Amino acid sequence: MTQGNADMTMNDLPVFSAELHPYRSLGRNGHRIFFVIAGVLTLAHMAVFLISGAWPVMLFFGLDFGILIGAFWLNNRAARAREVVSLSRTNISVRKISPSGKETEHVFNPFWARFLVSRKPKIGITAMHVSGNGRETDVGTFLPPDDRERFASAFSGALARVKRGY
């Protein structure tokens, strides 16, 4: 390998890399426990109404439980979205992967790119964007406020180091 190729390879190594995921309060076991409890309670209520002769009410309990399962399924599907942000000496790559698996990549030159952070006094960071060469993409829209602060601090520090040549 010649010196020129070695420099090019060193410049392509990531200086900063982060994979951003939406926050979800329940894990897989939490969902199982929740649905077992909700299912048992639904069946108990359905039995009470069936025994008392109000069988049409039983159908509504089943419908409610089905809607609850559907809402959690949609929520878990949305949790599969993620963003992979990578910064090297030669480019900034923001890969967005949708819940369906569709992938979009935005690439910027770090020396021309700007990392824009919008803040509100009592809320904190409300939006983060990477822009450059007339293009712009948002970053971490699904992150909670604390994670946005940590990401913004780490990414802006790494971008500043790359721009200074370190």
Q: Which of 133, 163, 128, 100 is nearest to 18 (CA)?
A: 128
| pLDDT < 50 stretches in the chain | 1-8
Whose tokens are 């000496």? That residue is: 89
96 touches 85 (CB < 8 A):
no
pTM confidence score: 0.75
Q: What is the pLDDT of residues 152-164, one digit of tens each?
A: 999 999 999 998 8
Residues in CB range of 149: below 8 A, 6 or more apart: 124, 125
pLDDT in tens, 68-88: 999 999 988 888 899 999 999
Question: What is the third-level CATH fold of 3-22+82-164?
Answer: PH-domain like (2.30.29)
